[in-house]
Amino acid sequence: MTHPGWFITLEGIEGAGKTTAAAVVAQWAKARGTAVVQTREPGGTPVAEAIRQIALTAGEESLAPEAELLLMFAARAQHVRAKILPALATGATVICDRFTDSSRAYQGAGRGLDAALIETLAANVEQGRAPDLTLLLDLPVEIGSARAAARRGSAAQDRFEQERAAFFERVRTGFLAIADREPRVVVIDAAAPLAAVQVAIEAALNQRLGAGG
């Protein structure tokens, strides 16, 4: 029996393995007969990808934290209306690499911006469609940073990658606080070897969304 699409988000600090996890989730969903749309934030549509460039590119002018927050939500507003909701309406499963929890963790916990403002923006931008399941890939900051650096090679760091470890510690703590209060969030030990991470992700999908299909 097929299932109408799920909205599944992947979260975590840099180098947590979200890109790798997205492939596992996509395979799981396809095996249950749903079409799959894989996307990312900030980005996912041409306009939102253009906003991503502004938000992530390290330039001469430093970006005000409030501007950073509004850019993330500007990209999200476009992404939700132009891609996520239409895909879910066709019955597809949408797998999104980062969503509103990243704003809560990076701009809220990381930058110290007002949580109430973030929730007001989220309530308006999400259009009443929160994720069905969020997989939080959690690992120590030093392991994530080392993985991200190894993958980046000689390419330049983006604005976020230039942040210090203390920033990412706040972001990680922020993500774990969301997991504590939101039942939709499952924490995955992302420091484990890839095969173990894959098993944990499949177990979470089966437990939360059903093993049938």
Interface residues toward ligand T5A, by CB under 6 A: 12, 14-20, 41-42, 56, 72, 97-98, 102-103, 106-107, 147-148, 151, 160, 190, 193-194, 197
Among residues 35 and 56, whose Cβ is nearest to ligand T5A? 56
- The burial of 75, by beta-carbon neighbours within 10 Å (0-12 exposed, 13-18 middle, 19 or more buried), is given as buried
Question: Nearest distance from residue 92's CB to ligand T5A, in Å?
Answer: 21
Question: Nearest distance from residue 106's CB to ligand T5A, in Å?
Answer: 3
Instruction: Locate 199 and state its tokens.
Output: 């098993």
What is the residue-wise DSSP string for 61-97? SPPPHHHHHHHHHHHHHHHIIIIIHHHHHTT-EEEEE
CA–CA separation, 157 and 112 (whole Å): 22
Among residues 81 and 151, whose Cβ is nearest to ligand T5A? 151
Question: Nearest distance from residue 94's CB to ligand T5A, in Å?
Answer: 15
DSSP label at residue 185: E
**Bond prior to 42 in cis (omega within 30° of 0):** yes
Among residues 35 and 63, whose Cβ is nearest to ligand T5A? 63
Q: What's the number of CA atoms in the CB half-sphere (13 Å) around residue 170?
A: 14
- Residue 40 is inside which H or E element, if any? strand 36-40
Among residues 194 and 211, whose Cβ is nearest to ligand T5A? 194
Among residues 19 and 207, whose Cβ is nearest to ligand T5A? 19
